């Protein structure tokens, strides 16, 4: 592609060098720079791309997009006010704006994004359309399934994937849009047809600092991006049971559809939630219909409502919506049950925030008289404030608690556990050191830093009629300790524990 054509979309402050040259690819990683490449110096949270300009030059790059001057003989340097924004625009331009060729659905919120995305995908497949998915768990379209690198990939990866979707006949693309992805302008040049807001609860406070900043990041999808979309009638789907949803609703200038448990344009009635799934009657402006779902938990009614609302905005028929919800399989790591022959209910869930853990445990607590054993930890190098909060929540709704590790990263795992423990003690739990039969103990907790051992011990003390919840990692198949990432899968650990207890 000719550089002058590629960079027409940019707000240029200064140009040094030639523009009538060919560009074969774009990169923001100096290690990937090479002949005929364009290197863009993106300032990151911890690393600034401007510090790697000479490395990119030495690797062969001769075109540089920067926020400050970089001048060498034989290069082209285009200065822009914002390299993040420039990267998003260049990526879309380079791949010929693939989102314009797709019906693009974006979902944001603290909790429920993945489940909502999977439900919408299932519904849209009932229309006999080709559907692509970009989720926290995986990216998939056609015959391809790729393990996700991020909830929302960077602009180059995102636009490349959307282009591959469009070129292989994909009609709908359903994607999770994270607050990081919005604030870092990864989706800036995407043209959305439908955007969904699920909820907002404390998360990523190490990054956003305040809830007001967190909401402001989410708002970008509904105010700036939706307003800029060149689609004819883009629609915003808002959970108005959430206070932040109400705030958003008042700021959106495009068409909106509200949903909620008992009120909203789309809501639910005659709700029945059990460990076997959900039964409810869904009320839309046009029609009401009954639905059954394999999903477990009161909170999943919201996810069903958000998916129904998105489908309604896209003109999907009631029958297709109903069938799509009922066919939707359990989502990996979202109240995922591990079947066994011991009459022990074992669930693995991604709940890694206070609100998510409360939703899961409160739901379980209300649905069963079983003794609840919870195994969980908190991630290192992340929100420290949520650790005692999650400890208190876990203790409040559990009979027995194992506090363990969950991606400690560069923090001392025992320090993280100690901060969780402060919340556990608020619920007057007693610390024990050697697990024993659950019939004899209640309101006790154990500390086991090794997650594999914690899972094994939690299952070893469970008896027929008990329920074990393993929370925090969900679909993840790794553990991060220090700067190393190694294989770890809660599901595999459960199966090993069950075998050892046989």
pLDDT tens digits for range 418-438: 999 999 999 999 999 888 755
Percent of the chain with pLDDT over 90: 86
Who's near 432: CB < 8 A, 6+ residues apart? 441, 444, 445, 446
pLDDT in tens, 47-91: 999 999 999 999 999 999 999 999 899 999 999 999 999 999 999
- Here the tokens at position 308 are 């129904």
pLDDT grade for 493, boundaries at 50, 70 and 90: very high
On whether both 487 and 354 belong to a single domain, the answer is yes
DSSP H helical ranges for 171-297 = 179-183, 205-208, 211-220, 226-228, 243-249
d(CA 141, CA 157): 14
175 closest CA partner among 186, 184, 167, 183: 186
On whether both 123 and 246 belong to a single domain, the answer is yes
On whether both 262 and 408 belong to a single domain, the answer is no
**Whole-prediction pTM:** 0.92
For range 241-253, the mean pLDDT:
94
pLDDT in tens, 163-213: 999 999 999 999 999 999 999 999 999 999 999 999 998 776 567 779 899
Q: Are 463 and 438 in contact (CB under 8 A)?
A: yes
- Here the tokens at position 176 are 């999770």
208 closest CA partner among 222, 220, 194, 196: 220
CB 270: neighbour CB atoms within 10 A?
11
On whether both 179 and 71 belong to a single domain, the answer is no
- Here the tokens at position 205 are 């406070």
d(CA 77, CA 460): 63
On whether both 83 and 106 belong to a single domain, the answer is no
Residue listed under structure tokens 């989410």: 218
For range 152-161, the mean pLDDT:
94
For range 305-313, the mean pLDDT:
98
> Strands 288-293, 277-283: parallel, antiparallel or unpaired by DSSP?
antiparallel
On whether both 203 and 347 belong to a single domain, the answer is no
Query: What one-character DSSP code corresponds to residue 5?
Result: H
Domain boundary among 307, 327, 347: 327
d(CA 92, CA 335): 37
Half-sphere exposure of 172 (CA within 13 A, CB side): 24
Q: What is the CATH number of the domain that holds 158?
A: 3.40.1190.10
Mean pLDDT score across all residues of the chain = 94
For range 376-397, the mean pLDDT:
95
> Is the confidence at residue 38, as pLDDT, over 70?
yes
Residue 367 structural domain: 336-500
330 closest CA partner among 374, 370, 283, 276: 276
Angle between helices 113-125 and 318-327 (to 10 degrees): 120
Angle between helices 413-425 and 386-397 (to 10 degrees): 50
On whether both 206 and 305 belong to a single domain, the answer is yes
On whether both 353 and 449 belong to a single domain, the answer is yes
First-to-last C-alpha distance (Å) of the chain: 63
Q: Are 449 and 413 in contact (CB under 8 A)?
A: yes
d(CA 449, CA 458): 13
493 closest CA partner among 346, 273, 344: 346
201 closest CA partner among 355, 90, 67: 355
Quick one: pLDDT at residue 205? 58
pLDDT grade for 358, boundaries at 50, 70 and 90: very high
pLDDT grade for 145, boundaries at 50, 70 and 90: confident
Who's near 158: CB < 8 A, 6+ residues apart? 91, 134, 152, 186, 187, 190
> Strands 103-108, 138-141: parallel, antiparallel or unpaired by DSSP?
unpaired
Q: What is the CATH number of the domain that holds 407?
A: 3.90.190.20
Quick one: pLDDT at residue 438? 56
Who's near 247: CB < 8 A, 6+ residues apart? 215
Domain boundary among 40, 65, 93: 93
The count of structural domains within the chain is: 3
Domain boundary among 58, 93, 128: 93
Q: What is the CATH number of the domain that holds 39?
A: 3.40.1390.10
pLDDT in tens, 126-143: 999 999 999 999 999 988
d(CA 251, CA 181): 21
On whether both 73 and 100 belong to a single domain, the answer is no
What is the secondary structure of 315-379 as a DSSP string? Answer: T--HHHHHHHHHHPPPPTTSSEE---SSS-EEEEE---SHHHHHHHHHHHHHH--SPEEEEE---
pLDDT grade for 230, boundaries at 50, 70 and 90: confident
For 29-62, b/e burial (b = at least 16 CB within 10 A) is bbeebeeebbbbbbeeeeeebeebbeebbebebb
Dihedral angle over CA of 344, 347, 353, 357, nearest 10: -40
- Here the tokens at position 314 are 């896209």
On whether both 115 and 214 belong to a single domain, the answer is yes
On whether both 154 and 293 belong to a single domain, the answer is yes
Residue listed under structure tokens 């001392």: 412
Quick one: pLDDT at residue 439? 57
Dihedral angle over CA of 246, 116, 176, 347, nearest 10: 120
On whether both 468 and 419 belong to a single domain, the answer is yes
């Amino acid at each position: 592609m000719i550089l002058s054509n590629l960079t027409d979309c940019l707000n240029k402050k200064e140009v040094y060098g030639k523009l009538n040259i060919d560009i074969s690819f774009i990169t923001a990683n100096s290690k990937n720079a090479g002949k005929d490449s364009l290197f863009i110096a993106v300032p990151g949270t911890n690393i600034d791309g401007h510090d790697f300009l000479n490395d990119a030059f030495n690797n062969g790059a001769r075109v540089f997009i920067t926020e400050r001057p970089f001048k060498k003989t034989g290069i082209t340097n285009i200065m822009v006010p914002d390299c993040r924004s420039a990267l998003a625009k260049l990526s879309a331009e380079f791949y010929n704006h693939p989102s314009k060729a797709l019906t693009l659905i974006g979902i944001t919120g603290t909790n429920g994004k993945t489940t909502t995305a999977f439900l919408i995908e299932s519904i849209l497949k009932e229309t006999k359309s080709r559907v692509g998915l970009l989720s926290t768990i995986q990216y998939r379209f056609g015959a391809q399934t790729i393990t996700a690198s991020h909830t929302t990939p960077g602009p180059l990866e995102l636009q490349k994937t959307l282009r591959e979707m469009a070129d292989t006949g994909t009609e709908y693309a359903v994607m999770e849009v994270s607050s990081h992805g919005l604030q870092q302008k990864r989706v800036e040049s995407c043209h959305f047809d439908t955007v969904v807001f699920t909820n907002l609860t404390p998360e990523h406070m190490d990054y956003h600092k305040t809830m007001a900043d967190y909401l402001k990041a989410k708002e970008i999808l509904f105010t700036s991006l939706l307003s800029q979309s060149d689609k004819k009638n883009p629609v915003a789907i808002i959970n108005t049971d959430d206070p932040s949803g109400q705030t958003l609703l008042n700021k959106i200038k495009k068409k909106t559809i509200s949903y909620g448990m008992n009120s909203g344009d789309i809501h639910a009635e005659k709700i029945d939630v059990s460990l076997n799934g959900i039964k409810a009657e869904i009320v839309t402006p046009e029609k009401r219909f009954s639905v059954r779902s394999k999903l477990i938990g009161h909170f999943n009614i919201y996810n069903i409502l958000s998916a129904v609302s998105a489908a309604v905005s896209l003109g999907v028929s009631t029958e297709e919506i109903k069938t799509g919800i009922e066919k939707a399989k359990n989502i990996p790591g979202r109240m995922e049950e591990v079947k066994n022959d011991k009459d022990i209910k074992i669930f693995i869930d991604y709940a890694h925030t206070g609100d998510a853990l409360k939703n899961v445990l409160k739901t379980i607590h209300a649905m069963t008289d079983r003794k609840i054993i919870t195994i969980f930890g908190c991630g290192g190098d992340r929100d420290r404030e949520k650790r005692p909060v999650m400890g208190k929540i876990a203790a409040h709704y559990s009979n027995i608690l194992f506090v363990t590790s969950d991606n400690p990263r560069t923090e001392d795992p025992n320090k993280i556990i100690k901060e969780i423990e402060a919340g556990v003690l608020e619920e007057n739990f007693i610390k024990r050191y050697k697990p024993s039969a659950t019939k004899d103990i209640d309101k006790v907790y154990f500390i086991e830093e090794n997650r594999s051992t914690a899972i094994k011990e939690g299952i070893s003390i469970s008896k027929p009629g008990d329920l074990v919840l393993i929370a925090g990692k969900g679909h993840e198949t790794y553990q991060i300790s220090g700067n190393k990432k190694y294989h770890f899968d809660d599901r595999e650990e459960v199966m090993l524990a069950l075998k050892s207890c046989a």
